Amino acid sequence: MERRNICNRVDLLNLIKKAKSRIRILGAVAFNLPYDDYKKDWSNKINAGGLQVEIICESESSLNYFSLISSNKRVSGENRSYDISNFMNIKNLPLQKVREYLLNKNCRHLEPKGENPLRDEDGNPIMEKDEKGEDKIKVNKEEAQFFSLRTSYLPIPIPVINIDDDYYIALSLTAFCDLEKFEKISEEHIWWNEFEKYFKVYFESDLGAKKYSTEITSKDNKTEVIIMYNDDRHVLGQLPRDSFLDTTKVKVVIWGMLFSRDGKVLIHQRGKNAKDNRGMWDKSIGGHVDLEKDTVDTTRAASREMLEELYKVEAEGQGDHSKSENMKIDETKPIFLGDWRPEVRFTFPFSEIKNKKDEMFFFRIKYDFIKKPVDSPRVLLNGDESPVKCCADVYAFVMPEGFEKTIGDLKNSKYKLLELNELNDAYKFKEIELEKNGEKVIERFNPTPDLKKIITGELWTEFNRFSDYLIDGIQKK
């Protein structure tokens, strides 16, 4: 019979106190550590660049599932009930007890900065030997990150604490907070090969748990979390925004086309700060549906995306808006007039649009289109194309009178108002006419995959009908 290396909770807590170089925790709720006992010592060692502390918390969605059993002590067999509020309180302890303490102590090494290796005169990383005598990159401790706090949106099947080179696991079967037995996993363990892969996926690999995690930084969560769907637009769970690249999972996005009151449509050229599709001509606006704000109705998301993308100045990295803005963002300002369904409308609110010249109005376009996923690939900075699947909620905006005169004041991109036949010609002949320094110049027209899909697909007919209605309903009446 295999002899298992088991320790109790007191022994584990003492081992954490004695850690020399590294403490990594996978499953903060599972272990429910007494952070007050560690924070002072950790602060001194982290500030000196001598101790790496990494805490990976469970996601709220995972904890909700776990609480289904743990909230009923008659079923779980526990001494008390653990509902989601109990779990969330424990989940927040690393932030409240550790990170806030480190910030108050002006501790260094808290922000993500990458590997930051030391380099020689030729710019090559300097190598050194690790404890096993193997070569590794020598890290610049002055620039490296020594504390990180993340939430994993991958399930955590087995909680782990890594103390220096040793790994301890816990088997949390119902509630998490009464764990008293922990098993050390060494190379002699019968499942070492399997556990080694597991540790690598969750602690090491950039394509493992790190890809499906958010990190608490000075800007709050480093990565936006959005809802994951299947091809039938049924909710599957949550994932960080960037993790949708190269997956078959579907996300919901906003596609918006902005029209001036004479029926012209706005397109823009994605700038140097864009994460992808740099330099390509795109639809008027686009954006992700925010998990916290837009799960009930995407009309607010469409409204906010329009106002933010046009009237707030974006910082490097796109999506991170600076405090500099030309107007206060009020997502209720544009007036939503429902679905665009000209085939069943005998009257149309053009008198209201025409009389309210300073207002913004918008409609949802082709409801059937939003129910099925479309391919929306992204051209990355290295030229590779990364596949993305999305359900696009499509909107058409009618901008205030005189909008065409304000195009030059928009800061985030290079904008162009075109008649739809001019946009079609630009796509067909791969040329677009622009004005530079008072002169007209011809540049290559390179559309994003999304804009190409709009021009060549079923939405094109709808937008042409919409443009015609604007011209007939506003300009001619």
DSSP string of 51-90, one letter each residue: -EEEEEEEPHHHHHHHHHHHT-HHHH--SS---HHHHHHH
Q: In terms of domains, do 363 and 302 share one?
A: yes
Domain holding 43, by residue range, is 6-110+145-221
Q: In terms of domains, do 214 and 235 share one?
A: no
What is the count of structural domains for the chain? 2
Q: In terms of domains, do 238 and 95 share one?
A: no
More confident residue, 256 or 329: 256
Q: In terms of domains, do 37 and 173 share one?
A: yes
What is the predicted pLDDT for the residue at 315? 40
Provide the pLDDT confidence category of residue 320 given band limits of 50, 70 and 90: very low
What is the predicted pLDDT for the residue at 221? 67
Q: Is residue 115 situated within a structural domain?
A: no
Q: How far apart are CA 432 and CA 363, in angstroms?
A: 28
Task: Tell me: pLDDT of 37 over 60.
Answer: yes
Task: Tell me: pLDDT of 239 over 80.
Answer: yes
Q: In terms of domains, do 182 and 234 share one?
A: no
What is the predicted pLDDT for the residue at 325? 42
Mean pLDDT, residues 424-436 taken together? 93
In this predicted model, what pLDDT tens digit does every residue of 8-21 receive, in sequence order?
999 999 999 999 99
More confident residue, 74 or 63: 63
In this predicted model, what pLDDT tens digit does every residue of 121-149 receive, in sequence order?
665 667 777 777 777 767 666 678 899 99
| pTM, to two decimals | 0.78
Mean pLDDT, residues 432-461 taken together? 92
Q: In terms of domains, do 46 and 188 share one?
A: yes
pLDDT > 90 in the chain, percent: 49
Q: How confident is the prediction for the chain on average, in pLDDT?
A: 86
What is the predicted pLDDT for the residue at 475? 62
31: Cβ contacts below 8 Å, ≥ 6 apart: 25, 159, 161, 170, 176, 179
Q: In terms of domains, do 366 and 446 share one?
A: yes
Q: In terms of domains, do 461 and 401 share one?
A: yes
Q: In terms of domains, do 80 and 174 share one?
A: yes
What is the predicted pLDDT for the residue at 171? 85
CATH number at 157 reads 3.30.870
Q: Is residue 118 situated within a structural domain?
A: no
Q: Is residue 127 situated within a structural domain?
A: no
Q: Is residue 119 situated within a structural domain?
A: no
Q: Is residue 120 situated within a structural domain?
A: no
The domain boundary, picked from 187, 221, 255, lies at: 221
Q: In terms of domains, do 202 and 324 share one?
A: no
CATH number at 339 reads 3.90.79.10
The domain boundary, picked from 196, 221, 246, lies at: 221
In this predicted model, what pLDDT tens digit does every residue of 389-408 receive, in sequence order?
999 999 999 999 999 888 88
CA 180 to each of CA 14, 27, 169: distance values in angstroms, whole numbers, following the listed order: 14, 15, 11
Q: Is residue 117 situated within a structural domain?
A: no
Q: In terms of domains, do 420 and 362 share one?
A: yes
Q: In terms of domains, do 422 and 294 share one?
A: yes
The domain boundary, picked from 193, 221, 249, lies at: 221
Q: How far apart are CA 314 and CA 323, in angstroms?
A: 9
Mean pLDDT, residues 63-88 taken together? 85
Helices (H) then strands (E): counts for the chain: 14, 28
Q: Is residue 126 situated within a structural domain?
A: no
Q: Is residue 392 situated within a structural domain?
A: yes
In this predicted model, what pLDDT tens digit does every residue of 79-94 receive, in sequence order?
888 888 989 999 999 9
